[in-house]
Amino acid sequence: MKIAVVGATGMVGSEMLEVLAEQNFAYSELLLVASENSIGKKITHQGKEYEVIGMEQAVAAAPQIAIFSAGGDTSLQWAPRFAAKGTVVIDNSSAWRMDPTKKLIVPEINGSLLTRADLIIANPNCSTIQLVMVLAPLHQKYGVNRVVVSTYQSITGTGVKAVQQLENERSGQNGEMAYAYPIDKNCIPQCDSFLENGYTKEEMKLTNETKKILDPKINVTATAVRVPVVGGHSEAVNITFDQDFDLEEVKSVLSLTPGITLQDNPATLQYPMPRFAQGKDDVFVGRIRRDESQAKSLNLWIVADNLRKGAATNAVQIAQLVANL
């Protein structure tokens, strides 16, 4: 098994290498791939030094699996070239997610859909993954009708420039700005660029990807906000079901779902927080309570490390499925 990590020098690429090591992913050869600017750079992984190679060299090597985290334009250009060599591409960008010919996969939910014929597989948006992980078992039990979600998204979702901006602001230094405004001691109600309907791309990803993964009948409306947090994304979610529910049964369903950790005990101030989700692969859910203003409706709070289950871990889980096909 020869595996390539494309975008290996980036935040998500680095996390992918960590997850591959933690999950003892079995490979005979590892190719670290990046843009021309990074070719020749040395990266040490599990005590071994690797030299970063370029895209042409990686395609020529014809790995069995290539995990991409290098942006949509790169994926659109290079994923078909890898696929033409028989390489299975697992892409972390938005390039292929809504392509009707490509599968959008969260392994715990729809990993069984994968076949050997799938040569380009889309990894969902980080905010979508943690949302559908919680929605899926509840949809199966009660039928999700409508979802209202407000996100509180980590700067790590923007990348290393955003982390540097926050560090610069907190140390009183000037530097390159990842955002149009200061992020320290601030909330920016914009994740990604605005569309004609007034929503941002991030907000529409939550809507469209949830429908594709779970059910096109589910209505989703979202507001995505960037906050000065490093550990992970948080989401305040209001769900209206087709059927009524028992609150304790909801908690039981979620607690028994693989990949979800229930943290819900107001008496002991137990609830999910990004500070404590960082570096973990599970999706954490708490603050579960009935919406007293609306029938058959529920409020809850979801937190996950956006670099882990929201990106790298989900991609590596898909790679494990592919390797076992």
3-state secondary structure the chain: CEEEEECCCCHHHHHHHHHHHHCCCCCCEEEEECCHHHCCCEEEECCEEEECECHHHHHHHCCCEEEECCCHHHHHHHHHHHHHCCCEEEECCCCCCCCCCCEECCHHHHHHHCCCCCCEEECCCHHHHHHHHHHHHHHHHHCEEEEEEEEEECHHHCCHHHHHHHHHHHHCCCCCCCCCCCCCCCCECCCCCECCCCCEHHHHHHHHHHHHHCCCCCEEEEEEEECCCCCCEEEEEEEEECCCCCHHHHHHHHHCCCCEEECCEHHHCECCCHHHHCCCCCEEEEEEEECCCCCCEEEEEEEECCCHHHHHHHHHHHHHHHHCC
pLDDT value, residue 129: 98
pLDDT one-digit tens code per residue, 216-256: 999 999 999 999 999 999 999 999 999 999 999 999 999 99
Q: Is the pLDDT of residue 295 over 90?
A: yes
pLDDT tops 90 at residue 286: yes
Whether 98 shows a pLDDT value over 90: the answer reads yes
Residues 281 and 141 in one domain: yes
- 27/99 same-domain check: yes
CATH of the domain at 113: 3.40.50.720
Residue-wise pLDDT tens digits, 141-200: 999 999 999 999 999 999 999 999 999 999 999 999 999 999 999 999 999 999 999 999
Domain limits for position 237: 127-306
Catalytic residues: 126, 233
- 138 and 205 belong to one structural domain: yes
Domain co-membership, 118 together with 131:
no
Mean pLDDT of 279-304: 98
Q: What CATH number does residue 137 fall under?
A: 3.30.360.10
Residue 113 and residue 150 share a domain: no
Q: Assess whether 166 and 284 both reside in one domain.
A: yes
Residues 113 and 131 in one domain: no
Task: Tell me: do 146 and 288 sit in the same domain.
Answer: yes
How many separate domains does the chain show?
2
pLDDT exceeds cutoff 90 at 72? yes
Same domain, 175 and 278: yes
Q: What's the pLDDT at 220?
A: 98
Q: Is the pLDDT of residue 36 over 90?
A: no
What pTM did the predictor assign?
0.96
176 and 260 share one domain: yes
Examine the domain organization and report whether 142 and 204 are in the same domain. Answer: yes
Instruction: Please check whether residues 298 and 163 belong to one and the same domain.
Output: yes
